């Protein structure tokens, strides 16, 4: 079997594990839909006025919760998943086989990309059919590019972050300690306009806010052209490159817990 064939087998196996994992499925696929429905129910779905293009509020919320789903599937999913199989000794055993090590990452990263595509489609469909969300048309290339760069970058960051996680018991707390504050300061739960200027400026150089902004630009009916937000993509890509370099340098293959 070729390496490409092995990568596809690994991807199918990882997708099955993902679908059969209630916690992963809930936080990645179901929770963003719950949040969208809850926020529309609580805050209403009136039109925003000329300042935001006179779209319904849900049109601004859909890209925010797409961002949440992508970060959950990529950063959180890889950080927790790779830590778990590292502590179970799976990664150590893989390195002792003729199978290239990159295939393990290919399956996990491929699962994150598939999850991103599926959840994005679900949120867009629910938004359009239930809440009158204006979906991207001419800006679709910008949406797809932002999703691809964002998913790849957060995957790299998730892999790098495993180097800081001492064990699988600590993984949920340590990953949530990073992403939850970022959600609140990056426009996922709270509009950035409601934050102090200093906090908004800090969020702007971190990866989540540029990702939310890039997705929102694609949904904004006032956006012209392809919807590519070059500045936001540059920030996201820079974080992705940093994550990749850190992962190559510091990724740990052997369990850290003491045995016996």
201-249 per-position pLDDT tens digit: 999 999 999 999 999 999 988 888 899 999 999 999 999 999 999 999 9
pLDDT of residue 151: 97
pTM over 0.85: yes
Rounded to an integer, the average pLDDT of 83-99 is: 89
Largest separation between any pair of C-alpha atoms in the chain = 65
CA distances from 19 to 16, 30, 146, 197 (A): 5, 12, 25, 41
Residue 52 pLDDT more than 90? no
- Exposed, middle or buried by CB within 10 Å (0-12, 13-18, 19+), for 117? middle
pLDDT in tens, 110-139: 999 999 999 999 999 999 999 988 888 899
Per-residue confidence (pLDDT) for residue 231, from 0 to 100? 95
- Do residues 68 and 183 make contact, with C-beta atoms less than 8 angstroms apart? yes
Average pLDDT, the chain: 91
For 179-198, write each residue's pLDDT tens digit: 999 999 999 998 887 888 89
Task: Answer yes or no: is pLDDT of 54 > 80.
Answer: no
Positive/negative CA dihedral, 118, 215, 64, 49: negative
Q: Which pLDDT belongs to residue 174?
A: 96
Decide if 91 contacts 232 (C-beta within 8 A): no
pLDDT score recorded for residue 44: 84
Residue 51 has pLDDT above 90, yes or no: no
pLDDT category at 60 given cuts 50, 70, 90 is confident
Residue 47 has pLDDT above 90, yes or no: no
Question: How much of the chain, in percent, has pLDDT values that exceed 70?
Answer: 96
Q: Return all residues near 83 (Cβ < 8 A) that are at least 6 apart.
A: 162, 165, 167, 168, 171
């Amino acid at each position: 079997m070729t390496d490409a064939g092995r990568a596809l087998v690994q991807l199918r196996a990882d997708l099955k594990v993902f679908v059969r994992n209630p916690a992963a499925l809930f936080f990645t696929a179901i929770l963003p839909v719950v949040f969208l429905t809850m926020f529309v129910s609580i805050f209403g779905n009136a039109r925003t006025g000329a300042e935001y293009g006179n779209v319904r509020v849900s049109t601004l919320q859909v890209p925010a919760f797409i961002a949440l789903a992508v970060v959950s599937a990529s950063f959180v999913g890889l950080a927790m998943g790779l830590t778990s199989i590292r502590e179970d000794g799976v990664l150590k055993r893989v390195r002792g086989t003729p199978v290239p090590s990159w295939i393990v990452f290919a399956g996990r990263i491929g699962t994150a990309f598939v999850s991103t595509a599926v959840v994005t489609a679900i949120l867009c469909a629910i938004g359009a059919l239930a809440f009158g969300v204006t979906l991207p048309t001419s800006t679709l290339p910008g949406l797809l590019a932002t999703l691809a760069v964002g998913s790849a970058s957060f995957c790299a960051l998730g892999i790098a972050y495993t180097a800081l996680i001492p064990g699988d018991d600590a993984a949920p707390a340590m990953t949530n300690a990073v992403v939850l504050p970022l959600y609140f300061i990056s426009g996922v739960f709270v509009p950035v306009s409601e934050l102090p200027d200093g906090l908004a400026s800090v969020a702007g150089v971190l990866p989540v806010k540029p990702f939310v902004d890039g997705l929102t630009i694609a949904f904004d009916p006032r956006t012209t052209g392809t919807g590519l937000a070059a500045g936001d993509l540059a920030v996201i890509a820079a974080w992705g490159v940093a994550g990749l370099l850190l992962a190559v340098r510091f990724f740990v293959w052997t369990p850290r817990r003491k045995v016996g």
